[in-house]
Amino acid sequence: MKKTHLMVLAIVAVAVVLAVGAVSAYADITTDAQAPVTTTDAVASYWNSATITATATDNEGIAYVYSKLDGGPARLTPVPSKPVSYDVLMPTAKDLPLAAGSHELKYWAQDINGNVEAQHKINFTVGIDTAKPVTTATGAAAGGWYKAGVTVHLVAADDGDGQSGVQGLSYALDGAAPTVVAATADVAVPATAGAHTIVYQATDVAGNVEAEKTLIVNVDTSKPVTSASAASVVKGRTATLKYKVTETGANAGKAAVVIKIKNGAGRVVKTVKAGQVAVNVTASTKFTCTLAKGVYTFTVYATDVAGNAQSKAGSAKLSVK
């Protein structure tokens, strides 16, 4: 009987201790007087809209986050699961879209024990920019042909009232990884024969993205070679001069041809401009022959579209009867 009495006393003692601990813990909760603290990532100005993240923290847990825009109604955001830290996007969807101009945002939080922090206030502006930036390319013509490397100068601009300014200019040469610069770039097209492609576009501060642009620059480093066939004509009739412009490697497919006719003394007595002539095929140029009877030499000179002059000019005899 005595042992039973002692056991009962022990159990009662343990219960008392547990009860005291529970009351103590509950007392700690119910005596929480610390208000939550809310901070934001707000900046002074935005373009087109504003997205502000408010982060509320509390040692016990967040119950609600409040916001108030431009003196309007308070917006209440209930916090699920009552965490000690919680992010809320402001202004809320009910406050959007924001008009251009100045705005005032108030925000505060309440914890699970009813403690409410003092209201915070921030001011910010919203500008409207829906126009895309524009990039211009100079230094090479689109689809142009060049006999050496060339530098293409890219300039991005976001001009006019309400424009946010250029955020960055992206460009890539011949499929390489894009390079991003502030607003201008000099792109060096190599002197490698063939087509070279520059892809570029700009983005402004407001997030507007220019449609991707492509500039193709062609390089032709080979010089044409000309050849000619002998011809004869009766004075006063139409003379037909046959020749060929041969071009190897990458080329535009045409060359400007000029034919010079010289007499026996080597003096040029007539110049015939044939204009742009297809390369790698036999061509002919006609003219009314008023030359005196005799034997002449005509020489074919060619300059391709890239500006390469012939490395060898072909010549042939012209007999005037």
pLDDT in tens, 302-318: 999 999 999 999 999 99
Residues making up the chain, counted from first to last: 321
Other CB atoms within 10 Å distance of the CB of residue 108: 22
CB 304 within 8 A of CB 311: no
Q: What is the mean pLDDT of the chain?
A: 91
* pLDDT for res 263: 98
| Confidence band for 90, pLDDT divided at 50, 70 and 90 | very high
Rounded CA-CA distance 275/285 in Å is 10
**What is the average pLDDT across 67-84?**
97
Under CATH, which number does the domain 37-127 receive? 2.60.40.10
**What percent of the chain shows pLDDT beyond 70?**
90
**What is the average pLDDT across 263-277?**
97
Rounded CA-CA distance 186/191 in Å is 15
Q: To 10 degrees, the CA torsion angle through 116, 121, 125, 130?
A: -10
Q: Is the pLDDT of residue 249 over 90?
A: yes
Q: What is the pLDDT of residues 122-170, one digit of tens each?
A: 999 999 999 999 999 999 999 999 999 999 999 999 987 779 999 999 9
Q: Is the pLDDT of residue 29 over 60?
A: no
Q: Is the pLDDT of residue 88 over 50?
A: yes
Q: Is the pLDDT of residue 16 over 90?
A: no
Under CATH, which number does the domain 225-320 receive? 2.60.40.1930
**What is the average pLDDT across 58-76?**
97
| Lowest mean pLDDT across 8-12, 83-87, 228-232 | 8-12
* pLDDT for res 160: 75
Q: Is the pLDDT of residue 27 over 90?
A: no
Rounded CA-CA distance 313/321 in Å is 26
- Is pTM beyond 0.75 here? yes
* pLDDT for res 6: 35
With tokens 């914890």, the residue in question is 111
Q: Is the pLDDT of residue 253 over 90?
A: yes
Query: Considering the domain 134-219, what is its CATH architecture?
Result: Sandwich (2.60)
* pLDDT for res 36: 98
Burial 196-235 (b: 16+ CB within 10 A, else e): bebbbbbbbbbebebeebebebbbbbbbbbbbbeebebee
Q: What is the pLDDT of residues 174-201, one digit of tens each?
A: 999 999 999 999 999 999 999 999 999 9
* pLDDT for res 30: 57
Q: 134-219 and 225-320: same fold? A: yes
CB 286 within 8 A of CB 259: no
| Confidence band for 285, pLDDT divided at 50, 70 and 90 | very high
Q: Where are the domains of the chain?
A: 37-127, 134-219, 225-320
Using alpha carbons, select from 186, 194, 185 the residue that is nearest to residue 147: 194
